[in-house]
Structure 1
Amino acid sequence: MAWNEPDLEEPLRLLWDYMCLIHRPKPCDAILVLGSFDETAAVYAARLWREGWAPRVIMSGGLAHRGGLLDTGWDRAEAEVFAEVAREHGVPESAILKEGYAQNTGENFVLSRRLAKEEGLSISALMVVAKPYMTRRGYAVGLKIWPEAELVMQAEAVTVEDYLARDPNPERVIQAMVGDFHRILVYPALGFQAPLPVSRAVVEAAHSLIAAGYGERLLSGWPLLPEGVRPTL
């Protein structure tokens, strides 16, 4: 089923609104940008830096997901591409740190935390920028891996309709979003991220999208709702 079919409008909106977690901005010690195939995260991080919310920007992401759905197609690490985008939008090289090895979200946090320590950065408040539908999962991962830092999640505020309409591959976006939602439900039991509440309506929205063919990135061997996970009413 195509993403813009009327039957998918409500499930897409429900899941998107859940996955997008944006906090009120506040002064932080650094901005961490989670790499991906969406360069707009780097553009938005540059805007936050220009507004003075943090003095340093950590770009994180290696040559990840090669040959898979989330492959960027770039011949450079995501951190390198994002750093270039940030420079084009006014962030000087001196304000950018590059972590160019992470292969997944957990490594984004683990390796960036290590880099910050090596650079002598004391981080008690961390602004985390990602593509919009990655912010809630990024928050769950960050709570587990960087617990001493207050996480301030940031992304551009955009509707799912506008985001999909401008993306060159909207089907990939939906596959990625459903897969990330599944990880929010499964990964706490594996120790990869902190548990977060979820409503039954959002779980049902994900079921609808999977039934429409958007289950390519589900974790093999796991039901959508793992045993012991109970949606809030």
Structure 2
Amino acid sequence: MARRAGLIHARKTAGYTQEKFAAALEVAASTVVRWESGNHEPQPHLRPKMAKLLGVTLDELIELLYGSPASTAGSRDSLPLLATGSMDYETWEEDLDRVLMCLSRQAFPLGMKLANRWLAQCDPQSLDHHGLYLYGRSLVLLGHLRSDQGILRGPRSAQADYGRALQVFTQLQNQRRVAQVQLLLAVVIEMSGHLYDAARRYRMLADDPRLSPRDRARAQLWVGTALSKAGANDEAVPMMTSALGKFVRLDEAEDWSLAHQKLALAHRGLGDLTRATQYMDVALDHPCGDSPMQQVRRDTAHAHLLLSDPATRDEGFTTLERSLQLAEQHGLMHQAASIISIRQSAEQEDQRRGTRSIFVAPSVDNVVTDAHRRDAELIWSYHQVGHELRPCSAAIALGCYDLGVAAHAARLYHEGMFPVVVFTGANSVVSANRFPQGEASAFKERALELGVPEAAIFTEPSATNTGQNIELSRKVLQEAGIAADSVMLITMRYMERRAYATCAKRWPEVSIICASAPLSYQEYVATIGNEKLVIDDLVGDLQRILEYPKIGYAIPQDVPVGVQAAYERLVHAGFDSRLLTS
């Protein structure tokens, strides 16, 4: 491989010798020499800090390491041409096989380079039928690479890549490929937290004759997966069991093993640990592969079961930590966020059992019924504004009792969504015991653990309400000399709308994007550990959305009649601990 001249130039421009650069990264100088010679690649966990030192984004760092797809004409990496000047489709197909190998090994940067270099230099309008088919396949594989890294929505995301591929295969009238991409888009919807919508799409595709028998069986399994994540395990288990039988008839060993893994989690959700353990033992005895992604998923599922039994709880935490380290090492940020949520839920459960918890147990008068839960889920959906994510000048992560907000901010930073983040917040009644050092400080510590460089973090430790979160964070950015024309507000899932309405009032000049971890209502309840508290918060936030515009704290928001009615029913039922008192 040729010397990485761009990387060398960037290092020298940033004012580093090889020795000083190595010291800043806490690696040997000989390691930097190997990187720059092109013989080795920096590990994924080093790349965010490396990019920060060089003053470049993660995408720009990837270009320095592997070459820019848009600037390779005339270089060794320029696309091979036939004598006629057309694309060398054989080489293109070979590269796509290499992308598949990268996917299996989670070698994301190289895989994205291989896929992107063809896409960047091809005009789909000038391609013949074969070339357009390869173009569509390249988009699908690029979507896989982004999906496995948890880059789900936005202009450069799995959703965007699959959407473009869908257009290509529709143009080619390749109905099998169209249905396959529709299945992939349903997976993105599930990973984004829209579980019932995903289950509906999977259910239609499970009977779609355009798909192969294996893909139809997988769609049926995924119906159960989405329902199980939503807490509907009694409905999920029959769907998964039926899919399992189909995998047996199709002799699909890998899918058969994965189905056992998912059935184990569904039976755990039903409270049947004996059946869950039986299914998990089969999955462990017949693993469905040994790639980092497969190991992370298998260990995470196993840890979930181990944590459910007091006798194996310590082993569960150990397994979960091993899974988290592997996920972070290989850039599997979606899986890492899920693991962190599971760990937080388990730690909070231990806290409730062993010491005084910050969470108040539901009283007899406030038992959550199915009717309450339906109303809460309606308000939950309303609170999410559904912004398409795009890069912003800066981010503000609003402090609260949920460290998942800090974890999601770290994930978005590593995706290149913003160069700096302000963690803002003093304490509230529910967070004071958990974060005696303050919300902003606790969030900063979590982000540092997840690899966000200290230079990219600002803290604002004084805000005690959402308006102060915005105004004081704006002041922090201004004092740091950061002229923000766009800002990403990172909040708990149900706080998106109120944060948006408040920021639009307090900082009208800035373009606002709201973001939160893609969790369903049931998944979020599991991370917090107290459904009564969650519903009280949902109700309290909706009251503020209704009342604050009247006193100039926020801009008005339309509230559908059904949402208003659900709010009134929940207030009447006693979910009122977070309501304004005057």
**TM-score for the superposition, normalised by structure 2:** 0.37
Q: Does 1:51 pair with 2:415?
A: yes
1:79 aligns to what?
Answer: 440
Give, in angstroms, the shift of residue 77 of structure 1: 1.5
Secondary structure in structure 2 of the residue aligned to 1:23:
coil
| Superposition pairs of residues 187-206 of structure 1, within 5 angstroms | 187-206=548-567
Give, in angstroms, the shift of residue 147 of structure 1: 0.9
Question: Residue 61 of structure 1: which of 402, 425, 433 is its match?
Answer: 425
Give, in angstroms, the shift of residue 169 of structure 1: 2.6
Distance across 2 between alignment mates of 1:21 and 1:70: 25
After superposition, give the CA deviation of every residue in 1:189-228 in whole Å (9 maximum; x if it has no partner). 111111111101001111121122101222224xxxxxxx
Distance across 1 between alignment mates of 2:433 and 2:389: 29
Give, in angstroms, the shift of residue 172 of structure 1: 1.5
Secondary structure in structure 1 of the residue aligned to 2:387:
coil
Of the structure 1 ranges 191-200 and 70-79, higher mean CA displacement relative to structure 2 is found in 70-79
Secondary structure in structure 2 of the residue aligned to 1:121:
coil
Question: Residue 2 of structure 1: which of 347, 364, 367 is its match?
Answer: 367
Q: CA, structure 1 residues 72+44, in 2 after alignment: closer, same or farther (shift >3 Å)? A: farther
Question: Residue 397 of structure 2: which of 26, 29, 33 is its match?
Answer: 33
Corresponding letter in the other structure for 2:389:
P
Q: Name the one with the larger helix percent.
A: 2
Corresponding letter in the other structure for 1:119:
A
| Count, aligned residues | 217
Corresponding letter in the other structure for 1:135:
E
Give, in angstroms, the shift of residue 71 of structure 1: 4.2
| Superposition pairs of residues 90-109 of structure 1, within 5 angstroms | 90-109=451-470
Residue 34 of structure 1 contacts residue 108 of structure 1 at CA under 8 Å; is this kept in 2?
yes
1:124 aligns to what?
Answer: 485
After superposition, give the CA deviation of every residue in 1:96-142 in whole Å (9 maximum; x if it has no partner). 01111101111000100111110100100101100000111000000
Residue 37 of structure 1 contacts residue 72 of structure 1 at CA under 8 Å; is this kept in 2?
no
Q: Does 1:154 pair with 2:518?
A: no
Distance across 2 between alignment mates of 1:138 and 1:120: 24
**TM-score for the superposition, normalised by structure 1:** 0.89
Q: Does 1:141 pair with 2:502?
A: yes
Q: Name the one with the larger strand percent.
A: 1
Distance across 2 between alignment mates of 1:107 and 1:22: 24
Secondary structure in structure 1 of the residue aligned to 2:581:
coil
Give, in angstroms, the shift of residue 168 of structure 1: 2.2
1:12 aligns to what?
Answer: 376
Larger Rg: 2
Corresponding letter in the other structure for 1:31:
A
Where relative contact order (Cα < 8 A, 6+ residues apart) is larger, the structure is: 1
After superposition, give the CA deviation of every residue in 1:132-168 in whole Å (9 maximum; x if it has no partner). 0011100000000111110000001211122113322
1:166 aligns to what?
Answer: 527
Residue 21 of structure 1 contacts residue 132 of structure 1 at CA under 8 Å; is this kept in 2?
no
Distance across 2 between alignment mates of 1:165 and 1:211: 25
Secondary structure in structure 2 of the residue aligned to 1:75:
coil
Give, in angstroms, the shift of residue 31 of structure 1: 1.0
Distance across 1 between alignment mates of 2:409 and 2:444: 10
Q: CA, structure 1 residues 165+204, in 2 after alignment: closer, same or farther (shift >3 Å)? A: same
1:209 aligns to what?
Answer: 570
Secondary structure in structure 1 of the residue aligned to 2:385:
coil
Residue 394 of structure 2 contacts residue 484 of structure 2 at CA under 8 Å; is this kept in 1?
yes
2:385 aligns to what?
Answer: 21
Residue 402 of structure 2 contacts residue 528 of structure 2 at CA under 8 Å; is this kept in 1?
no
2:538 aligns to what?
Answer: 177
Q: Which runs of 4+ in 1 moved over 4 A?
A: 69-72
Residue 376 of structure 2 contacts residue 538 of structure 2 at CA under 8 Å; is this kept in 1?
no
Gap regions ≥5 residues in structure 1: 222-233
Q: CA, structure 1 residues 72+33, in 2 after alignment: closer, same or farther (shift >3 Å)? A: farther
Gap regions ≥5 residues in structure 2: 1-365
Secondary structure in structure 2 of the residue aligned to 1:90:
coil
Residue 432 of structure 2 contacts residue 438 of structure 2 at CA under 8 Å; is this kept in 1?
no
CA RMSD of aligned residues (A): 1.3
